[in-house]
A = this chain, B = another copy of it.
Amino acid sequence: MKLYDYAAAPSPRRVRIFLAEKGITLPTVQVDLRNGEQFSDSFRAINPDCTVPVLELDDGTCIADAIGICVYFEAVRPDPPLMGSDPEGKAIITAAQRRAERDGFYAVMEALRNFTPGMKGRSLPGPDGYEQIPALAERGRARVLRFFETMEAELAGRDFVCGSDYSIADITTLVTVDFARWIKLAIPEQSLNLRRWYDHVSARPSAKA
């Protein structure tokens, strides 16, 4: 089993933090996104979507999705649970993770990919060369600021995004906050709940993954 990864990229970092929290280590293969290795014929044979992370299982099956990979490891190593331990907890964490991804992570990605000169013709990940849409970069920035506001309110009186236990919803939110630096957005000074939470989850050893 091995993980196709790129150390500087936020999407595989979600998986690396998840694995660190589970105490799982895996051999990794670095795919040099900065030099376009994801578009090479050899990597396309592994993942036609040309993205990392990809988990290659021992039978050759490839899981080419960060959350799909986390689902795999949650099933093979349930402790500590990071995706909920009862039906209600699983549902709440799934919904919170998806909201952080949609309103936070993807909004940063929209802002970045539709603005950065080096990403012309790559407004979405993957092999299809969609052109940049400047209005989408602006909308992305506005959405990230709204996401920070939402999380500031949600985290009042809470240790973690879904209550008293650390979960995959914290991982996506943490990676989103760090990813937002790429578009020069940071947690507002006055967002005290979000800042406290960020300092707390960033101090966990897994955050270095």
B88 touches A61 (CB 8 A): yes
A139 touches B130 (CB 8 A): yes
Interface flag for A156 (CB, 8 Å)? no
Copies of this chain, whole number: 2
Of the residues B64, B71, B92, contact of A68 by C-beta under 8 Å? B92
Interface flag for A69 (CB, 8 Å)? yes
Enumerate A65-97 residues with CB–CB distance to B below 8 Å. Answer: 65, 67-69, 71-72, 75-76, 86-88, 90-92, 94-95
> What chain B residues lie within 8 Å of A98 (beta carbons)?
65, 67-68
A99 touches B65 (CB 8 A): yes
What is the 8 Å Cβ interface bit string for chain A, positions 35-57, against chain B (1 contact, 0 not)?
A: 00000000000000100000101
Interface flag for A142 (CB, 8 Å)? yes
Interface flag for A63 (CB, 8 Å)? yes
Smallest distance from the beta carbon of A45 to chain B beta carbons, Å? 15
Interface flag for A133 (CB, 8 Å)? yes
Interface flag for A128 (CB, 8 Å)? yes
A133 touches B130 (CB 8 A): no
Q: Can you give 6 contacting A-B residue pairs, CB < 8 Å?
A: A57-B88, A68-B94, A71-B87, A76-B87, A130-B143, A131-B135
Q: Knowing A133-B135, A135-B135, A136-B136, say if A90 contacts B72 (CB, 8 Å).
A: yes
